[in-house]
Amino acid sequence: MPSKEIALITYKESPELSKSDALLVEPLKNEGFTSQAVPWDSGDIDWERFTALVLRSCWNYHYNYQDFLTWLSKIENTHIPLWNPAEVVRWNANKKYLTDLESKGVSTVPTVWLEKDERTNLEDIAGEKKWNDLVVKPSVGASAYGIFRVRSGEYNAAQIKINDILQQSEVMIQPLMEEVMSEGEYSLVFIGGEYSHAMLKTPKEGDFRSNHHCGATEVKVEPDRPLIDQAYSILDKVDSPLLYARIDGINRDGEFVLMELELIEPHLFFDQDQQSPTRFAKALANLQLT
């Protein structure tokens, strides 16, 4: 009988498991799995010796986007189970997936999408949309990569920066969501399709970014049940089985407004919820891995 060996996917600049993900090793063992951290971009791995691959801290994929897509296709061709599946990972890697969810009735942040090399004018966009402060992001990115704020009156100065970015990638422009600063951004973690736990992330004083790398605080919370139910409805609109998901959004007068649906390599805060590593291991064990 083949060994039930699981590769927890990292990247070569930081090949070991994060402190949070290291908490998965013992629960996976209890479910009959051996597990190890394996960088996706190592280049010399015999992937077919693994029972399944689980994406965890492949936090450089947006810097090596085409290489990552090529790797996904390689894994697909081996027919080794990948969680989450390559098809949904490919969809989720470009933030244009938000337009798909919006078309299915999900409440999302208003966004202007710009194609690579597209000519635009920030001041015209702000005036047409009646937005004041803007947030600019590359369409492919993670961990607040490339994100910056443009205050009202700074449009002309920021135009040079956005023109440079547009030479390299697609761009999304959104209004600054004040709720991120006033209440915080919720991260609801789902494991095996079931709600597990949630965090509230609040930017540091004077910042708008809710990522801990940017100094944001993270506190475990229990959101109001209607917000959890709305997050469930977002998951229902994803046409793929999922081992895990993190749904990030704000509470706007009781309405959950989706910021991002994280299906690739989100921090799942196993270190903040004692039972969540066991839930994760059991959910993996319940999946069809052959």
CA atoms of 226 and 113, how far apart (whole Å): 30
Query: What does the pLDDT look like over 172-197, one tens digit per residue?
Result: 999 999 999 889 999 999 999 999 99
**Cross-strand partners of 54:** 8, 83
Query: What is d(CA 18, CA 37) in angstroms, rounded to the nearest whole number?
Result: 10
CB 74 within 8 A of CB 82: no
- Sign of the C-alpha dihedral, residues 105, 263, 249, 283? positive
Torsion over CA of 124, 131, 223 and 83, rounded to 10 degrees? 0
94 versus 145: the higher-pLDDT residue is 94
Least confident of 87-91, 112-116, 149-153: 149-153
Question: Is a pLDDT exceeding 80 seen at residue 215?
Answer: no
Check whether 249 has a pLDDT greater than 60. Answer: yes
For each of the domains in the chain, give its residue range(s) and CATH number, in order of start: 5-93 (3.40.50.20), 102-107+179-263 (3.30.470.20), 112-176 (3.30.1490.20)
> How is residue 139 annotated by DSSP?
S
Q: Are strands 112-114 and 134-138 parallel, antiparallel or unpaired?
A: unpaired
**pLDDT of res. 94:** 94
Please give the model's pTM, rounded to 2 decimal places: 0.93
Q: Find the DSSP H helices in the chain.
A: 25-30, 65-78, 86-92, 97-103, 122-129, 155-166, 178-182, 225-235, 276-286
pLDDT, residue 210, reads 61
Compute the CA torsion angle 201, 237, 56, 211 (nearest 10 deg): -20
- Cα–Cα distances (Å) from 103 to 110, 144, 177, 219, 248, in that order, read 13, 25, 21, 32, 18
Q: Which amino acid is at 113?
A: W
Q: Calculate what percentage of the chain has a pLDDT beyond 70.
A: 92
The mean pLDDT value for 70-75 works out to: 97
Which range among 118-127, 204-213, 244-253 has the greatest average pLDDT?
Answer: 244-253
What is the predicted pLDDT for the residue at 120? 87
